[in-house]
């Protein structure tokens, strides 16, 4: 299943809605709205999604014609640092012996086509294209032999935007990673790829149309199953939580007016522009 979240104008009000997504001749289309009766709380409690429903006034529409929203509503964004050897090396860092975890606040989320604000207090802001995991249901202490895939709702493109100078000067990463707009995500979530099951995908990042990053999830130092088992030994993951899995080599600085596109097989292209605060 593929789905998106978008802003709908209904009777003079703006409402967020979900829709199923199909790919037609290389173009992603929103084809069927997803709704749940207000009295049915199972989607929220059990971490499911609204049920697709027919709507007489809904016509399929290309995603490019919609005002897309971040397709996730996480209680936390739990990121993984230095999870590709070449990326650790390009910044002069050692490869971690265990997954290196840090948090971005949900207030950093940004929709596709949204504008990333470059903070006035930073002298260098970098892009970092990543594959993100979206959690399907609550999990804690996943067993060493347990299949992690039932806990995964799907995958999504993420840009782990970083104020590199602040990250280095602070020594810990919360401020450098946590500015508002520093977590673009989208355009869709899909469970039709299976990197956790041994089907790797390629993460490509373009700066103003030029490829700067191209890495395969087969090169993750800590694969997805290992990450989820490691994380859940410490904390409970809730439905909707977002886990960016690390960025390949090729990160670089942006300036106002730059456009970043992150493309992952089966997940579309996440595009955002950067502007001075």
Q: What are phi and psi of 223, to 5 degrees?
A: -60, 170
Share of the chain above pLDDT 70, in %: 94
| Same domain membership, residue 39 and residue 94 | no
Indicate the number of domains in the chain.
2
The pLDDT assigned to 53 comes to 73
Domain that holds residue 39: 2-69
What is the C-alpha separation between 252 and 269, in angstroms, rounded? Answer: 19
Mean pLDDT along residues 228-250: 97
Q: Read off the pLDDT of residues 25-77 as tens digits, 9 standing for 90 and up.
A: 999 999 988 876 554 444 544 456 777 776 667 789 999 999 999 999 999 99
- C-alpha separations of 249 from 14, 16, 232 in Å: 40, 35, 27
What CATH number has the domain bearing residue 263? 3.90.850.10
| Same domain membership, residue 31 and residue 101 | no
| Contact predicate 232/243, CB 8 Å | no
What is the C-alpha separation between 59 and 32, in angstroms, rounded? Answer: 8
Report helix, strand or coil for 75. Answer: coil
91: CB partners within 8 A, 6+ apart: 82, 251
| Same domain membership, residue 215 and residue 100 | yes
Q: Read off the pLDDT of residues 134-167 as tens digits, 9 standing for 90 and up.
A: 999 999 999 999 999 999 999 999 999 999 999 9
Q: What is the mean pLDDT of the chain?
A: 92
Bond from prior residue into 187 cis (ω within 30 degrees of 0)? yes
| Same domain membership, residue 189 and residue 171 | yes
pLDDT at 78 > cutoff 90: yes
């Amino acid at each position: 299943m593929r789905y998106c979240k978008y802003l709908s104008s209904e009777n003079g009000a703006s409402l967020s809605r979900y829709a199923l997504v199909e790919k037609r001749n290389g173009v992603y289309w929103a084809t069927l709205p997803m709704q749940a009766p207000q009295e049915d709380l199972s989607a929220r409690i059990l971490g499911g999604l609204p049920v697709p429903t027919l709507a007489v006034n809904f016509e399929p529409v290309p995603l490019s014609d919609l005002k897309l929203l971040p397709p996730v509503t996480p209680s936390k964004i739990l990121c993984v640092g230095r999870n590709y050897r070449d990326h650790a090396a390009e910044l002069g860092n050692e490869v971690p012996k265990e997954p290196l975890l840090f948090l971005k606040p949900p207030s950093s989320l940004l929709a596709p086509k949204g504008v990333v604000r470059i903070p006035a207090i930073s002298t260098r802001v970098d892009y970092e294209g990543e594959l993100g995991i979206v959690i399907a249901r609550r999990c804690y202490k996943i067993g060493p032999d347990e299949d992690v895939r039932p806990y995964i709702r799907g995958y999504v493109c993420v840009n782990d935007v970083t104020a590199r100078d602040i990250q280095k000067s602070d020594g810990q990463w919360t401020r450098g990673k946590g500015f508002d707009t520093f977590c673009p995500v989208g355009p869709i979530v899909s469970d039709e790829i299976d990197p956790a099951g041994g089907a790797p995908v390629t993460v490509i990042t373009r700066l103003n149309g030029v490829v700067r990053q191209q890495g395969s999830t087969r090169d993750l130092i800590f694969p997805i199953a290992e990450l989820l088992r490691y994380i859940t030994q410490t904390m409970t993951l809730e439905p909707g939580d977002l886990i960016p899995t690390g960025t390949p080599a090729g990160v670089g600085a942006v300036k106002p007016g730059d456009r970043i596109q992150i493309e992952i097989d089966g997940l579309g292209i996440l595009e955002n522009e950067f502007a001075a605060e």
